[in-house]
Structures are given as structure tokens and as C-alpha cells.
Chains A and B, each alone.
Chain A
Amino acid sequence: MRELVLSSFFSFMLVADEEEGHCMRLNLGESYWLMLLPALIVLAAITFPPFFYSIYLSVHDVDLTKPYLGRPFVGVNNFITLFQDSRALNSFLNTGILVGSMVAIEFVLGLLIALLIDTYFPKATWLITLIIIPMTFPRVVVGLVWRIMLNPLIGVVNYLLQFLGLGAVDWLADPTMAMVSIIAVDVWQWTAFIVLLLLAGFQTLPKEPFDAAKVDGASGMDVFRYITIPLLQPVIVVALVFRVIDALRTFDIVYIMTRGGPGTSTETVDIFAYYIGISEAGRISYAAAVSLVMLFVTIVLITIFLRFSEQWQEEMY
């Protein structure tokens, strides 16, 4: 069942796996691909044209607001510019820091909360409802509300800090604190996503291995390390892949809370591409090049991650 869920999640990647693979053969024969065809056609129609157009853009010099300059072919110039542009490199670095810290903190926190709920309150659905409330808010609203709460002059956060006798913090105008604030807000909103997936995972785990471990006298830690985690591994991979892909596209919260500032200290790749491509300038070709590099990085990251998790699974068993 889990494989089926997974394969519907990653239709592309895992369909190939299952072809060679071990478990689910649904006995659909030739009609297997036929049934996927409509979905594939729709997917191709909405992803390929923009993709190829961005490749076209990235090797030309198109400036949206300066049509009189023409559209000269410039080869890989835009990509060379990228690697010499400190602002662009800075945006990749910022994205790395954001994604790394957000996903790591969310995962550890999420795992702990999920374990806690699963162990002590397995029947408490109200608790889960409570936890996922932040997830239901639109990100723009979350950004706006936090921006106001973090305002050093009129915000409630500093008010509480001062009430407790602590000093005021310049949450969004200090380069380091701005990054910390954004990470904190994302963690506040999206940890619940990990909790939700892991809890669902816990509930699908078979009982037998745990009973056997108990009979053999395994400690709680051993059970967690050698049974829970390996059995949960596919769910963990899904949760992480989803969070990483989502975090790589972080835009709304940063845009609302800091606009990428102060200076460029929280400018992510997406925000940078948006600024130079459409907002502050019309350098759409350069923005396309930046986005393509970002796409490439994402694909490489996810591939490495999936390979790594496969290996991990083999070692575990």
C-alpha cells in the first residue's frame, strides 16, 4: 500500500523503479502506460513549453523593458555573469542556509512531536487538528502577521521580551536575526507537515517486529533505531523530499517579511530572480539562467538524496 501511495506521489521516478522492481505489479500489462498517458500529456503540455522557452531566453539577451535593444544571441554569457555576480552567488548561499536549517529543524522537531503524540496521545485527533492550524494559513498572511508581531517598536514579541526584563531585539533589520526570524516562522508553520506524515507512517507500521523486539528484550532506543526508523524510512524520505523542494522555492515569507533585506542578506534565489527579471529590472534572460541553474541544483540534490536513502535502506536491513 505504501508503495502505491509513494508511486502516486512521484509518478515519474518510482514508476521506473517498479518496472524492474520487486513488489507491486498491478497486472495491468500494456494498459499501464496507456492509463498514465493522459496525465503525462497534460504534465508535458504545461511544463515543457515554459521550460524550453526559458532555455531560449537564457542564451539570448532579452530585456523586457527595453524592447528597442533587440534580442541578441549571447550563448552562455548569462551563466558566466551568474558565477561572477556576488549578489547571485549570495542568493544561492542564502537559499542553502535557509533550506538546510529549516528542513533540519523541522524534521527533528517534527519527529519528536510525532513520537510524543504516538506514544502518549495516540487517539488525540484534536491535538493533531491543533498542530496543523498554522499550516492552514496562507503564507502571505503568516508573513504579514509575523512582520507586525516582530516589529521592534509596536510588535508583541519585543513587548513580551521587555516584560520579562530582556532587551529589545531588532528582529528583521539585523542581517543575522532576519535570517533567524525567517527560519523560525517557517519552522512554526511547517513542522506540522512532518508531524502529520510521520504520524500517518507510525500508524501503518506492522506490530510484529515490535512484539518480537520486546520478547528479545531490546531497549526503547534500540527499537527506535533498528525497527522504527528503518520501517518508517520511505515516509521520512517523502517528508524530507517534499519539504526540501518546497523550501527551495521559499518566496512569500521572505518577500513579505524582509524583501530579501536588510541589503541582500536574506535574498533567496527565487527572490533574486524575481527582482532582476521583472520587479526591479527587466533582465528576464538573466533571471531565466538563474532559474535554470536552480532547477539543475534541485534535480541534483534530489537525485543524490534518493540514491543516498536507497543505500541507507540497504544498510539498515
Chain B
Amino acid sequence: MKITKRLLVVLMVLFLGVSSFVLAQERPYEGIRLAVALRSLPETDFIVSKLGEFELMTGISVNVVTYPEEQLREREVIDATTGAGAYDVIAIDSVFIPEFAKAGWITPLEPYLKPEYEVEDISKFARDLLSYEGTLYGGPVYSEATQLMYQKSLFEDAGLAPPQTMEEYEEYAKKFTQPPDLYGVAMRGLRGNGMNIYIWSEWLWSYGGRYFDENWNPVFNSPEGVLATEKYAHLLQNYGPPGVATYGWDDVQNAFTTGKVAMIIDATNFYTRIEDPTKSQVAGNVGYAVVPEGPAGRFPGNYCMGFAISAVGAKTDEEKKAAAEFIQWATSREMELDKSLQADIISVTRDSVFNDPEFRAKFGGDWLESTMESFRITNPNYRPLIEEWREIGDRLGIEVENVIAGIKPAKEALDEAAAYAAEVLKKTGKIK
């Protein structure tokens, strides 16, 4: 087994060496330098480790600048507003695509796509997330949905199947809660459009609420929204571990890996960490399922990170083409398959990778089924794809945290967030 593996690697290296030698003959972008801003993730680290091949193949020299998660967007905003244009390619969260596109800071990727890129192969929701007004702006590096993860042994001992509905979810959460050894659920309470709001939105939709009406008036403070928020807060307050009101995704993950939490709803990519026996006490004991169904349906959340061409950095046509070349290489099908098979990265963005026999052999099972189903049914507008999102979502995050921490009643908190949202939308002219 080991020998065949090694042989395979040697063959691959040989093949790559030969192919890059052949391609090196026609390096179309000789001498062009690209600066790429990204944050360090297993996904991007893998891509960066392969940069040599890309440089050899195209003649483009790539300079990578890495920022921590929270500073990446700030750096990019500052770079764009000051017109500095230090980066040609930027890594960008799907929720900020509308903001950046509307401001004219990113260039549409669509016109530069080559047929071999097979854009149709990218999961539909990921394409939608990285588009603004119907035009694709980014190539996906990473995508995820939210799903239910639970300790299988607990459910087996109790003779239960994973919860199918919100009522069952609450019922089981109550059943499993035995502090301080075991808590029913853990979910994000910490404020932020990508923190508590990322999970809370599922409750909003499931209970029949929505963000805006046809005229862009905020309506998440409707009776449905209030009920959803009360339900979410109730779950965390009564069946969550202490301190859950300020839990970020990392806290949720840590709590679950200690084995003190029965069920969590969070990102599909938790798989890698919670199934790692060196980091998790529940490795091998985790079941995966699509999120439970509420009165209005099932609403798994979604998120995607992509590479986009900076309109401020890549000014000339040649630079734009080179940037697009890089994005297509970094987010190609081959790259994604290599990422998964060589580095166990499972934030897959392409349908063909999900269906690849080798991938299925490695990651098949309830995780794969639940993830594929979640990708299929998730609504791209789970968090509204509008340029005002960040401001509205973050303010809402504060108010939802206020409710979870017991500082304000749900109605009052949501009214305040809705009033703020209306103000923002008036300023940008969406509300007349």
C-alpha cells in the first residue's frame, strides 16, 4: 500500500515536472507580478504551497499577504478607499461581495473565465453567493453550510433518532441537559453578522420570519421574528453551557469536542476538527444530519469565501487577465480535488468533487449526505445579499446577543435593530 502510494507520488511529480516544462515554453504572462491578500486557512495554505507550479506555468510571480480573519476585510476596505491598490487579488467573504461590487472595488470575473474552468460545476449556491446582480465576481476557495452534529452514543443509548423538527430539537436538548457534565446544545451567541446571526437566521426563516418585505422595509421584528428569537435564546439559556451568550464558532467547537454538549448546529467544515482524535474526545462518535425543520421549512445557513479581482489593484487589462488566471488556477477542479485528497480539506465547492469516487471513499457517510443535501436546499439569500448587510447584520447581532444574555426582551431588541436597519436603507435609497 505504502509503496504504491509512493510510486504514485513519484509519478505525479514526474508528470507535473514534464507538463510544467512543456507549458513553460509559452508563458503568456512573463514578468507580471500579482499581490494576493488572504487569510491563513488550511485551504489557502494548500494553494500557497503549490504556487511554484503556477509561477512556472504562467511566468506570473505571486506575492501573498496574509491577514487574520477579522483584519482581512478592514485591510481591503482601507486599501480600496485610499486608492492604494496594494492587492490585485483579494480573498473575500461571500456576504461582502455586494458591498465591494457596488462600491466598484472588484471586477467581474465572468468575462475572463475559460471553458476549462467549468463554472457550472461550482455548487449553485456558491455561485449565487459570489455574484452580484447576476454577475459572478469570485471563484470559491471555501464553502460550507450549517448542519446538525450530535453525539451518536447518547442518541443510541436513549433510543432516539436525530431530531427532525425544531420541537424535537428542543425536546432532546432538554432531555440531555444535566449540568455540569452535559448540556443539550451549543450554538453561537457572540454578536456579529457572521457569528450569532449566521445561526440565528435559521430560526428566523424556520419560524416563518424574513428580513425585508418587497419594499425593503425591515420586518425581522415581526411576531414570527420575535418568536424565533425567543426560541433561540430559550434554547441557549436553558440547555446551553454557561457563557454561551458570548460563544463564537471556536467556543462551540471546543465545547463539543470536550464531549460536554449533545448537539450543535454549525458549519459543515467542523468535520475535520471534531473527527480528529488528537483534538476531540468525540471523534468517531459524531452523527451528521440536515438541520431540523421548523413550521416554515428547513433552512441550513451558508457561507463561501472566494478570490476576486481587485479593481483598485489590478488596473490594466493585462493585470486583470493575470489575476483571473490565478483565480481560475487556485479554484480549479484539480486544485480542489488535490486539497481534499492530499490535505483532508472538505470545504468543497464543486459538485464533481463531491461525486468523485476517491472523495466518496474517503469522506462518505452521513456527513457527506447531509452536507450535499444542505448545499442543495440552502437559500443563497439566507443572509440577504445586499451591500448594506454588514452594518445591518452586525447591529442585529448585538441585539440578539442582548436577548440571549437576558439584557433585553426580544421585541424591544429587534425593534431597535429594525429601526437602525431602516435608517441605513433610507440613506442608501432602498427605502424611499
| A residues with CB within 8 A of B | 63-69, 151-154, 158, 162, 168, 170-175, 178, 258-265, 275, 278-282
- 11 A-B pairs in the complex with CB atoms less than 8 angstroms apart: A64-B77, A168-B180, A259-B246, A261-B191, A261-B246, A261-B405, A262-B401, A263-B398, A263-B407, A281-B394, A282-B391
Q: Mark B241-266, 1 if CB is under 8 A from A, else 0.
A: 11111100001001100101000000
- Closest CB pairs A-B (n = 10): A280-B394, A262-B405, A152-B242, A263-B402, A173-B245, A281-B391, A152-B243, A173-B243, A173-B246, A153-B241
A63, A263, A279, A282: residue with the most chain B Cβ atoms closer than 10 Å: A263
Determine if B164 is an interface residue (Cβ-Cβ < 8 Å): no
Q: A64-B81, A263-B399, A282-B77 are in contact. List 5 more A-B contacts (CB 8 A).
A: A67-B81, A170-B242, A259-B246, A264-B398, A280-B391
Does B245 lie within 8 Å of A153, measured CB to CB? no
B193, B260, B390, B408: residue with the most chain A Cβ atoms closer than 10 Å: B390
In the complex, the chain B residue whose C-beta lies closest to that of A263 is B402
Q: Mark B403-432, 1 if CB is under 8 A from A, else 0.
A: 011011000000000000000100110000
In the complex, the chain B residue whose C-beta lies closest to that of A264 is B398
Return A244 CB to nearest CB of chain B, in Å. Answer: 28
Q: Please, which residues of chain B bring their CB within 8 A of the CB of A173?
A: 189, 242-246, 405
Q: Please, which residues of chain A bring their CB within 8 A of the CB of B243?
A: 151-153, 170-173
Q: Please, which residues of chain B bring their CB within 8 A of the CB of A168?
A: 180, 242
Determine if B190 is an interface residue (Cβ-Cβ < 8 Å): yes
Q: Please, which residues of chain A bring their CB within 8 A of the CB of B394?
A: 275, 279-281
Return A232 CB to nearest CB of chain B, in Å. Answer: 42
Q: Please, which residues of chain B bring their CB within 8 A of the CB of A151?
A: 243, 251, 254
Determine if B350 is an interface residue (Cβ-Cβ < 8 Å): no
In the complex, the chain B residue whose C-beta lies closest to that of A258 is B246
Does A265 lie within 8 Å of B103, measured CB to CB? no
Q: Please, which residues of chain A bring their CB within 8 A of the CB of B401?
A: 261-263
Return B42 CB to nearest CB of chain A, in Å. Answer: 21
Determine if B273 is an interface residue (Cβ-Cβ < 8 Å): no
Return B232 CB to nearest CB of chain A, in Å. Answer: 15
Partner of B103, one of A65, A152, A162: A65
Determine if B104 is an interface residue (Cβ-Cβ < 8 Å): yes
Q: Please, which residues of chain A bring their CB within 8 A of the CB of B242?
A: 152-153, 158, 168, 170, 173
Determine if B99 is an interface residue (Cβ-Cβ < 8 Å): yes
In the complex, the chain A residue whose C-beta lies closest to that of B424 is A281
CA distance A280 to B254 in the complex (A): 26
Determine if B334 is an interface residue (Cβ-Cβ < 8 Å): no
Q: Please, which residues of chain A bring their CB within 8 A of the CB of B78?
A: 64, 278
Q: Please, which residues of chain B bring their CB within 8 A of the CB of A263?
A: 191, 398-399, 401-402, 405, 407-408
Q: Please, which residues of chain B bring their CB within 8 A of the CB of A260?
A: 191
CA distance A278 to B76 in the complex (A): 11
Q: Please, which residues of chain A bring their CB within 8 A of the CB of B191?
A: 259-261, 263
Secondary structure at chain B's binding surface: helix, strand, loop or mixed? Answer: helix
**Given known A-B contacts A68-B103, A69-B427, A262-B245, A175 and B407 have beta carbons under 8 A apart:** yes
CA distance A178 to B242 in the complex (A): 13
Q: Please, which residues of chain B bring their CB within 8 A of the CB of A278?
A: 74, 77-78
CA distance A175 to B192 in the complex (A): 18
Does A66 lie within 8 Å of B190, measured CB to CB? no
Return B128 CB to nearest CB of chain A, in Å. Answer: 22
CA distance A170 to B406 in the complex (A): 13
Secondary structure at chain A's binding surface: helix, strand, loop or mixed? Answer: loop
Does B77 lie within 8 Å of A66, measured CB to CB? no
Determine if B395 is an interface residue (Cβ-Cβ < 8 Å): yes
Determine if B102 is an interface residue (Cβ-Cβ < 8 Å): yes
Q: Please, which residues of chain A bring their CB within 8 A of the CB of B193?
A: 280
Size class of the contact patch on chain B = 35 or more
Q: Mark B176-190, 1 if CB is under 8 A from A, else 0.
A: 000010000000011
Determine if B144 is an interface residue (Cβ-Cβ < 8 Å): no
Does B81 lie within 8 Å of A153, measured CB to CB? no
Return A91 CB to nearest CB of chain B, in Å. Answer: 12
Return A89 CB to nearest CB of chain B, in Å. Answer: 14
A66, A158, A282: residue with the most chain B Cβ atoms closer than 10 Å: A66
Q: Please, which residues of chain A bring their CB within 8 A of the CB of B428?
A: 66, 69
Determine if B387 is an interface residue (Cβ-Cβ < 8 Å): yes
Does A279 lie within 8 Å of B180, measured CB to CB? no
Partner of B387, one of A66, A158, A259: A66
Does A67 lie within 8 Å of B104, measured CB to CB? yes
Return B423 CB to nearest CB of chain A, in Å. Answer: 10
In the complex, the chain B residue whose C-beta lies closest to that of A153 is B241
Does A153 lie within 8 Å of B260, measured CB to CB? yes
Does A172 lie within 8 Å of B246, measured CB to CB? yes
B180, B189, B402, B405: residue with the most chain A Cβ atoms closer than 10 Å: B405
Return A138 CB to nearest CB of chain B, in Å. Answer: 14
Return A6 CB to nearest CB of chain B, in Å. Answer: 38
CA distance A261 to B104 in the complex (A): 34
Give residues of chain B (13-47) contacting chain A, Cβ–Cβ below 8 Å.
none
Q: Please, which residues of chain B bring their CB within 8 A of the CB of A64?
A: 77-78, 81
CA distance A173 to B236 in the complex (A): 12
Return A145 CB to nearest CB of chain B, in Å. Answer: 15
CA distance A177 to B226 in the complex (A): 27
Q: Please, which residues of chain A bring their CB within 8 A of the CB of B190?
A: 259, 261
Give residues of chain B (173-211) contacting chain A, Cβ–Cβ below 8 Å.
180, 189-193
In the complex, the chain A residue whose C-beta lies closest to that of B246 is A173
Does A154 lie within 8 Å of B254, measured CB to CB? yes
Q: Please, which residues of chain A bring their CB within 8 A of the CB of B402?
A: 262-264
**Given known A-B contacts A65-B99, A153-B255, A170-B243, A279 and B395 have beta carbons under 8 A apart:** no
Return A161 CB to nearest CB of chain B, in Å. Answer: 11
**Given known A-B contacts A65-B99, A261-B405, A153 and B77 have beta carbons under 8 A apart:** no
Return B93 CB to nearest CB of chain A, in Å. Answer: 13
Q: Please, which residues of chain B bring their CB within 8 A of the CB of A264?
A: 398, 402
Does B241 lie within 8 Å of A152, measured CB to CB? yes
Q: Please, which residues of chain B bring their CB within 8 A of the CB of A174?
A: 405
Does A154 lie within 8 Å of B77, measured CB to CB? no
Return A160 CB to nearest CB of chain B, in Å. Answer: 14
Q: Please, which residues of chain A bring their CB within 8 A of the CB of B99?
A: 65
Does B103 lie within 8 Å of A67, measured CB to CB? yes
Q: Please, which residues of chain A bring their CB within 8 A of the CB of B241?
A: 152-153
Does B258 lie within 8 Å of A68, measured CB to CB? no
CA distance A121 to B193 in the complex (A): 54
Q: Please, which residues of chain B bring their CB within 8 A of the CB of A67?
A: 81, 103-104
Return A263 CB to nearest CB of chain B, in Å. Answer: 4
A162, A168, A260, A281: residue with the most chain B Cβ atoms closer than 10 Å: A281
CA distance A258 to B251 in the complex (A): 13
Does B390 lie within 8 Å of A281, measured CB to CB? yes
